[in-house]
Amino acid sequence: MSRARLGGPVGAAGLVVAGLACQEVGAAFAVLLFPSVGALGMVALRLTFSALILLAIARPSVRGRSRGDWMTVVLFGAALAVMNGLFYEALARIPLGAAVTIEVLGPLVLSVATSRRASSWLWAVLAFVGVFLLGQGSFGELDPVGVLFAAGAGATWAGYILLSSRTGSRFARLDGLALAMAIGAVLTLPLGLAAAGPVIVRPDILLLGAAVAVLSSTIPYALELFALRRIPSSTFAILMSLAPAIAALAGVVLLAQHITLVGVLAIALVVTASIGAVRSAGPGATPVARADVV
């Protein structure tokens, strides 16, 4: 295949899907670390290594920032920390596919709410029907606490998207994200150390934590930036709607998690609703997943 075709829309779409796959593989690796460091310990490792990588790449300037700039980036970092904490607590209790499917409701409803078309709310209804089916034994018996954590992560994700937009308007390039990630790491590190204890600084645990950060953040984000130069943002947002399906597949293949045909139907409904919401929202549609989130 020629380089031109690899760099074209089809190749770029493949990069987005590859980024999503890396993201969910990273989440699966995180689940494997839960018995050693717990959910909060994993959050601390993920955010700390992600922050170190982003700070090294972006080298953000901290001089000349206004009070409003710092307020925005601190809130952004806090949202990042809370969202990841809730998501990993959900992963500790319910399957990966179910957690991502429920979490996606947050940005999906935000996309619908910001659309000017009243008919777009039909997509939200379709998504909630899909989530209702998740509770009908499609992933086994879902832990209610895990479901609440996933829903909380989705709600925080919607806030994260709004704060991300504000941060992007105040900080150049990756500066805002790097600073927010560092703030999130500072907020979660004490909790992670308290929850995991000395085991968190074992070389093998640190190595696996770094691998999760690279798989969940660095590689997907790089692939997304490359892809966004070659495909419209609306196409990108539609491709990102595949996250629940890819997460469910990763859970089945890597974690031996069970899913029934009802579960497949539930995920298909949420993916369809996400795509429909993106198309209804138009060119400014908000992606339902980001590499720097889950």
CA distance 278 to 273: 9
The length of the chain, given as a count of residues: 294
CA 11 from chain centre, in angstroms, equals 22
pTM over the 0.75 mark: yes
Angle between helices 105-113 and 261-281 (to 10 degrees): 30
> C-alpha distances in angstroms, 275 versus 59, 83, 98, 184, 268?
36, 23, 18, 30, 11
Contact 85, 188 (CB under 8 A): yes
Check residue 6 and give its pLDDT: 46
CB atoms within 10 A of CB 137: 12
Contact 134, 175 (CB under 8 A): no
Check residue 136 and give its pLDDT: 67
Closest CA to 285 of 113, 78, 139, 31: 113
Check residue 92 and give its pLDDT: 94
Point out the residues of the chain with pLDDT beneath 50: 1-6, 287-294
The pairs formed by 33-38 with CB atoms below 8 angstroms and a separation of 24 or more are 33/205, 33/208, 33/209, 33/212, 34/88, 34/91, 34/92, 36/196, 36/199, 36/205, 37/192, 37/195, 37/196, 37/199, 37/200, 37/205, 37/209, 38/92, 38/195, 38/196
Phi then psi for residue 136, to 5 deg, are -95, 40
Angle between helices 219-228 and 233-240 (to 10 degrees): 140
Angle between helices 261-281 and 96-103 (to 10 degrees): 30
**Sequence-ordered list of residues with C-beta below 8 angstroms from that of 29, at least 6 positions apart, any chain:** 208, 211, 212, 215
**Sequence-ordered list of residues with C-beta below 8 angstroms from that of 245, at least 6 positions apart, any chain:** 97, 267, 268, 271
Please, is 64 exposed, middle or buried when counting C-beta atoms within 10 Å of its C-beta (0-12, 13-18, 19+)? exposed
Check residue 292 and give its pLDDT: 47
Check residue 234 and give its pLDDT: 67
Check residue 262 and give its pLDDT: 86
Check residue 8 and give its pLDDT: 62
DSSP letters spanning 117-172: -GGGHHHHHHHHHHHHHHTTTBTBS--HHHHHHHHHHHHHHHHHHHHHHHHHHHS-
